[in-house]
Structures are given as C-alpha cells and as structure tokens.
Structure 1
Amino acid sequence: MPFLLRLLLLSVLTFPAAAQQTLPAALPEYNAQRTLLDQRGMRVLGAWAVGNVGISGARAFATDGPEKYFHQMNVGWGVVNLALAGSALVSARHTTLPTDRASTAKAQLHTENLYLLNTGLDVAYVATGFYLKERARSRSTQRQQDRLTGYGRSLLLQGGFLFAFDGLMFAAHHAHGKSGLYPLLSHVQAGPNAIAFVVKL
C-alpha cells in the first residue's frame, strides 16, 4: 500500500478527539440560524398574506367585472398563505433542532428541496394564469369572461410573488449551507498528533 494512502487511512482512524468536538459544537448554532432564516421568510409571507386579505378583501366589495374576481382570488390566496406562514411559525417554536451531522444535513437538504419544488409549482401557477386569461376570450358570457380574466390576473400576481419568494429563500438557504454547513461536513482537520482529510455525511 502506498505510503500516502496508509498515512491518509491512519489519519482518519486516529482523528484527534479535540478536532472531533469542533463539528458538533458548531451544529446547534448553524441549525438555529437556519430556523431563524425560515422564520424571517414566513414573516414576509405572512405580511404579504395580510396585505392581500386586507386590501383585496375591501376591494372585492367595491369593484365589478374582472377586478372583483381578481380581488376575490387574492383573498383566497391570502387566507391560505396566512395559514401556512402561521402554522410554520408556531411549529418552529416547538421543533427540536437536530444535533448530529446526519440529521442536520437531512434537514438542510429537505429545506432546499422544498423551496426548489415550490419554485417549480410557482411557474405552474403563472402558466395557469396565462391559460385562464386566454381561455376567457372564448367564453360565451361576460360573467365567465370576467371571472376567468380576474382569476388569471390573480394567479399571475400570486405566482409571480411566490416564484420570487421561493427562489430567494432557496438561494438564501443554499448560501447558508454552502458557507456554514458544507465546510463542516468535508474538510481537512489538523490535530497535535494527526492530520486528517475528513468527509462527514
């Protein structure tokens, strides 16, 4: 066996205890920061939802035609988003943060994948909005045209906002993982009696 390979294997097997403690000690702070990032995002989503319920709730009774249906749909979106943001904030207060490498990595990937999946759904919302607006042109009654047009405009607005929101949240979490977690999972550690190239998954 080549000398360097034996040295690498020996280094991993004799990884100093002091260096091993560095990673677990950093995990609670990292997980707390990830949770804080999520909470800030949910507050933004909640504020957007409250604005939709308040403004469109009032406008739905004061407008006619496509605008009326536009505001009706906005209220529906606002209620759903408010429920999601509220439940996420409440859940975060009662969630036990992971303390080991495997659980932390799993939680990080779950969060990133969730926002990435939502971004794809947001594109579908926008596409549906365009479809409804186009579909309105072929409806036989004015009421049907107004409803589809209003709903389509709402989907374009809500889908556009959520696309930006989920995209920014994914980017923020990915940057957080890249700077705070991934270097902890794979790096070179040096101790008083050994040098180790460590990959922790």
Structure 2
Amino acid sequence: MRLPLRLFLVSVWGLALPAVAQQDPSSLMDYTTQRTVLDQRGLRVLGAWAVGNVGVSGARAFVTEGPEKYFHQMNVGWGVVNLALAGTALLTTRHTAAPPTDRPAVVKAQLRTENLYLLNTGLDVAYVATGFYLKERANSRTTQRQQDRLTGFGRSLLLQGGFLLAFDGLMFVAHHKHGNRALYPLLSYLQVGPNAVALAVPIR
C-alpha cells in the first residue's frame, strides 16, 4: 500500500472515531446498568429461596422427628446465611458509587463476575458430594440419633447444593451471554490516538 493511501485511511478513521467514541461511554453505561439489574434479579431469587427455607423449615423443625427434623434444621441454617448474603449484596449494589464505564474496568468487572459464579459452582458440587457422603456415613453410625442427624443433614446438603448449583450455573450462563452480546462487540472498534493506531478485538 502506498504512503498517501495509508495516510488517507488513517485520516478517515480519525474522523469517524469521534462519533464512535461519543456513543461508546453511553453503550458501556447501558451494558453496566443491565449487568447490575441482572445481578439484582439473581439476588432476589436467592433471597426468596432463603426466606422460603427459613419460613417452611423453621416451622417444620418443631413438629417433625428423626431425619426430617435435622433436615429442616440444616435448611434453616442455610436460609439464614443465604438471606444475609443476598440482603447485604443487594444493599451494596444499591448504595455503591456510579459503576465504571471505561473499557478496562468494565471488562475486569465482567470477568470477575463470571469467575465468581464459576468458583461457586465448584463449591456447589462439593456441597452435593458432601451430602452423599453424610448419607452414606449415616449407615455406619451406632446410634439412631447419629444416623438420623447425618441422614437429615445429608439430604439438606443435597437440596441446598443442588439449588445453588443450578442458580450459579444459570447466573454464569446469563452473564456470559450478556457479555458476548452487549459488551465484547463494543471492544472491536479501531482506536486512534495522538501517536498510535490500535485495533481492539473482542475477547471471547
């Protein structure tokens, strides 16, 4: 390519990019707002699940016996923890300062969110595995109370771990699809600076 043609292309890109740059912060702001809304919806689902566990199992724990009693006791404990986590996270998202709109910070937040849900799915698998272990362990206990306790706790871990596995998995998929659809296409614009021309490609 001849030098005059190169200079012409750089000039055209330089004239076109200001319009893109003006739209870019708005697009990133829209994306960040949508990501926050997605997080809040997920936290509401988690909060509703926690309230249900505390309410239903809290009542059933006083009127049941055997493994079912311990099953509901463990559910109440999980519900209290999940309710505290969901409530704290919701309050944090509502009272935090304006989210970042520059590209590096937005991409970092996106990847951090996806990695968090992936890490949680790994922990959820461990919860489910522990539930199976406790149920199996109950067969080797010498007293009925020990058997009932381990069986009830194991069933609770299977229920809670299974729900959290589905929840974290779906949240990861939702955030990943949202990033692919609404964020990463914004990163493919050509950027022209005072001393350089750079092409940002989508991260997939």
Separation in structure 2 between the aligned mates of residue 22 and residue 126 of structure 1, nearest angstrom = 46
Contact persistence 2:17–2:190 (CA under 8 A): no
- Letter of the aligned partner of 1:145 in structure 2? Q
Alignment of 1:110-189 (within 5 A): 110-187=112-189
- Letter of the aligned partner of 1:69 in structure 2? Y
Separation in structure 2 between the aligned mates of residue 95 and residue 25 of structure 1, nearest angstrom = 19
Aligned to 2:54: 53
Report sequence identity in percent.
Answer: 74
Separation in structure 1 between the aligned mates of residue 12 and residue 77 of structure 2, nearest angstrom = 56
Which consecutive unaligned segments of at least 5 residues does structure 2 have? 192-197
- Aligned partner of residue 26 in structure 2, secondary structure: helix
Question: Against the structure 1 CA distance between its residues 12 and 80, is the aligned structure 2 distance closer, same or farther, given a 3 Å change threshold?
Answer: farther
- Letter of the aligned partner of 1:159 in structure 2? G
- Letter of the aligned partner of 1:32 in structure 2? T
Contact persistence 2:75–2:160 (CA under 8 A): yes
Aligned to 1:16: 17
Separation in structure 1 between the aligned mates of residue 137 and residue 202 of structure 2, nearest angstrom = 53
Contact persistence 2:185–2:202 (CA under 8 A): no
2:53 is the counterpart of 1:70: no
Separation in structure 2 between the aligned mates of residue 106 and residue 90 of structure 1, nearest angstrom = 22
Separation in structure 2 between the aligned mates of residue 146 and residue 3 of structure 1, nearest angstrom = 83
> With structure 1 as the length reference, what TM-score do the two structures score?
0.88
Task: Give 1:188 deviation, angstroms.
Answer: 6.1
What do residues 104-148 of structure 1 show as CA deviations (whole Å, max 9, x unaligned)? 111111111111110111000000000000000001111110000
Over 4 Å off, 4+ runs: 6-9
Bigger relative contact order (CA 8 A; separation at least 6): 1
Aligned to 1:192: none
The alignment's C-alpha RMSD in Å is: 2.5
Separation in structure 2 between the aligned mates of residue 83 and residue 120 of structure 1, nearest angstrom = 21
Contact persistence 1:12–1:197 (CA under 8 A): no
- Aligned partner of residue 100 in structure 2, secondary structure: coil
> With structure 2 as the length reference, what TM-score do the two structures score?
0.87
